[in-house]
Copies of this chain bind each other. A is one copy, B any other.
């Protein structure tokens, strides 16, 4: 268990970042606590073996004893919503009932400036291959549309409309930020589903960033888990 000061940060391809702020338990905690079933004892070497065995046998409940608090910043709202589907977790999110999209930062209406507050598809930014030909035109229209949306939002709020209702005109790709406290067992399920090529590109990039952090703080657990589930290959796509 450690407080990470500064937090361990990984950038998410396409925009945003994730930070690990704090962690309960360490790499071998699942093995140590699992010994309670048999009242057995073991040194570190034995615990390393037991940890691998737990994963091999699919005994995942001891991995609920590793708990992580992440801060995730700058993910599109629809990715944030997908995170909420993982019900064995404790999220706390920025609320657009109370905050304007420009709270705390001045918006610059350049491609880069916009991408900091609203998701721009990686295909248009040259971060992902595609056959789209009219990228510049689409990008220009997109920026313009986002600008109009924010202008309209401001006008609605100035006219006296509730922020929580005015947000109806904001784009679905608005970036948000959240705290996410979740245990390793639930994260294993998250990684299996979200590293998979069937997951949305934006979600996979978040999952990869999560995996990169976990490989640093629970390396043995991750090595064995990724190997067993055949997920290692997805980290490098």
Contact = CB atoms under 8 A, between A and B. Distances in A.
A216 interface: no
Interface of A: 1-3, 22-25, 33-34, 36-39, 61-62, 64-65, 67, 69, 76-78, 80-81, 84-85, 87, 90, 92-99, 103-104, 118-124, 130-134, 138, 141-142, 145-146, 148-149, 152, 155-156, 159-162, 164-174, 177-179, 181, 183, 200-202
A120 B168 contact: yes
Copy total for this chain: 4
16 contacts: A34-B92, A39-B104, A39-B177, A61-B92, A67-B181, A76-B168, A97-B200, A122-B165, A132-B160, A132-B161, A142-B156, A145-B148, A162-B200, A167-B173, A168-B171, A169-B173
Given A38-B99, A92-B61, A94-B36, A159 B172 contact: no
A230 to B, nearest CB: 14
A225 to B, nearest CB: 17
Please provide the 7 A-B residue pairs with the shortest distance between their CB atoms, ordered closest to farther: A168-B173, A64-B90, A121-B165, A24-B24, A87-B87, A84-B84, A37-B95
